[in-house]
Structure 1
Amino acid sequence: MKNILLASFAIVLSLFTNPVQAQNAHEKHADDVNYVVLTRNVQQLKPIILAAEELAVQDGDNFGDFQVVVCGKAVQDLSNKETMSNFLKSAENAGVTINACGFSLKKFGVDRAALPEALRVVENGILHNFELQKKGYLSIEL
């Protein structure tokens, strides 16, 4: 009888703790370290993603958000599916968000519909970078 009570208690306890742990694994915390990189060269995505992977290992549970903003003439390369395919797969696996600057898309005549779905468009890449910096993101421009 005692074993049945202990087993029942353990089952009930596990039912209530697992959802909480799963929820906490996806929450952002105040002590997370977040990053943003502004680049004008699509070929820099590979070393940027490698850096994100290494920072994720170094930061461990404190690794937060990692965003890349592609600005300038480089946005023309974003619609090249062959070029972007591997970058987008690597970015997804590393938890990196790649953003395209809307102003640059307009300036260089890149149709937003031609961009891969995995890319996000921010209207003003420089403003987006500053807004993230105000939120405490570590930032670098390449």
Structure 2
Amino acid sequence: MKTYIVMIAAIFTLLTAGKSEARVPENSNVKNYIVLTRNIKQLKPIILAAKDLAAEDGSQFGKFKVIICGKTITNVTQMDKMAPYLEMAEKNHVELYACGLSLKKFKIAPQSLPKQIHVTKNGLLYDFQLQKEGYMSIEL
């Protein structure tokens, strides 16, 4: 009798397990990218890569974010240096972020940044969090 009950329980478990489906996020084939850079001169090739990836990925292209950190953060407030990059980033739907830890270290007020640049509390942590969400990541 015990064997009979165990077999029925096992069969029931197998049958019902097959009916439960794992939920796949609707945007599971969307490709998102995050780049961490310590040199604003790298912004041009990064943004050009975003442009090429958008063309290559087509409708699967999601978001492309760039985190600027380290000493180069001191250049971000200089509009003569940043204007071409800001224009390119906006044209190619690239989101720019400044690392809050770098801003603090180099005593730069977040309010002094161009309006197109978002601030994240910790650039490295934000990068890791986005990787957990499925973003493809590279550090330059």
TM-score range, shorter chain: 0.7 to 0.9
Aligned partner (choices 43, 52, 55) of residue 54 of structure 1: 52
Q: Which digits, 9 at most, give the CA deviation of each residue in 1:44-68, with x for residues without a partner?
A: 0000000000000000000000000
Deviation at 1:114, TM superposition (A): 1.1
TM-score (ref. length: structure 1):
0.79
Q: Which digits, 9 at most, give the CA deviation of each residue in 1:23-50, with x for residues without a partner?
A: xxxxx82210000000000010000000
The structure with the greater share of residues assigned to helix is: 1
Separation (CA, whole Å) in 1 of partners of 2:27 and 2:127? 20
Residue 107 of structure 1 aligns with an amino acid whose one-letter code is K
Aligned partner (choices 34, 42, 45) of residue 43 of structure 2: 45
Which residue number corresponds to residue 129 of structure 2? Answer: 131
Q: Percent identity?
A: 49
Separation (CA, whole Å) in 1 of partners of 2:73 and 2:133? 25
Which residue number corresponds to residue 84 of structure 1? Answer: 82
TM-score (ref. length: structure 2):
0.80
Which residue number corresponds to residue 103 of structure 2? Answer: 105
Separation (CA, whole Å) in 1 of partners of 2:62 and 2:97? 17
Which residue number corresponds to residue 21 of structure 1? Answer: none
Which residue number corresponds to residue 27 of structure 2? Answer: 29
Deviation at 1:120, TM superposition (A): 0.1
* Aligned-pair Cα RMSD in Å: 0.9
Deviation at 1:73, TM superposition (A): 0.5
Separation (CA, whole Å) in 2 of partners of 1:125 and 1:66? 15
Larger Rg, first or second structure (1 or 2):
2
Which residue number corresponds to residue 22 of structure 2? Answer: none
What count of residue pairs does the alignment treat as equivalent?
Answer: 115
Local SS of the residue matching 2:85: helix
Local SS of the residue matching 2:116: coil
Local SS of the residue matching 1:132: helix
More deviation, 118-127/108-117 = 108-117
Runs of 4+ deviating beyond 6 Å: none
